[in-house]
Amino acid sequence: MSEFDPSNPDHIYFLCSLALKAGKNAMVYFHQDIEVETKDNDTPVTIADREGEEIIIQGIESRFSKIQIIGEENSENGLPDTIEDKFFLLDPLDGTKEFINKRTDFTVNIGFIDKTAPICGIVYAPALNRLFFTLDGKAYETDIAPDDKMINHENTLHSKLSNAKEIRVRPTPDDGLVVVASRSHLSPETEAFLKELKVKEIVSAGSSLKFCLLATGEADIYPRHGRTMEWDTAAAHALLCAAGGVVHNIDGSILGYGKRKRGLDNPYFIAST
């Protein structure tokens, strides 16, 4: 098999199983003291990052062998010369700093891009037992612990996923917005942006979980005036859009993917409901 269909439940559930297995692997190291390396771009990386990406890539290659795969760790030595119209975009451990510091808001991200648009996403927060995924243009959430035996039993897992709850963004609340932001990235630009809004509360969260909180109606807006990479955002961007949200660049244009000339670096953006 080589074609991937984001409306095919079997295809989506297979990607979910890979995210779950990578999350299960990460939790083994979460409870240990592990060595932290520093990459050339001064970001941390652990064995959980590298093993998680290997789990996902090997799985995708076994089912969708003709589709390009770009991951955070396999891009460490450079991006491919050509980025195809359709490709998978992976972050096997988004929120490595949170992971290292034994915080629970880190995620496994598997996104699928078609002509610059993120049309499919799987996000798993293993320390929170929360799995989010898109299927046929809709967004879903279910709870699965990383040590649940169903992860390795296809029929049981598919039954669980087929009963996942559909999620949608909420209407804009009259009493003010719930803003979600990273603990370490509330920049002066973000603070200035928020002064123009009616803000009820600012919720701190790490990784792609910020998008997920918008998708589930737990928050309303996520302004990001700071650096992110495409693999940080693709999967959860797809989830938010499937739940009725949007992600715009600061200039109002839609955030797109496969930006080879930028090195897959994202411009500043606003994710909202």
Please give the annotated binding residues, written as ranges. 72, 91, 93-96, 232
The gap from C-alpha 78 to its chain's centroid, in whole angstroms, comes to 21
Distance in angstroms (rounded) separating the CA atoms of residues 273 and 192: 20
Greatest alpha-carbon span in the chain: 51
Beta strands 68-71 and 86-94: pairing type?
A: parallel
150 alpha-carbon distance from chain centroid: 22
Angle made by CA atoms 107, 112, 117, in degrees to the nearest 5:
110
102: β partners: none
- Annotated binding site for substrate: which residue ranges? 72, 93-96, 232
* CB crowding 206-231: b at 16 or more within 10 Å, else e: bbbbbbbbbbbbbbbbbbbbbebbbb
Bind-site residues for Mg(2+): 72, 91, 93-94, 232
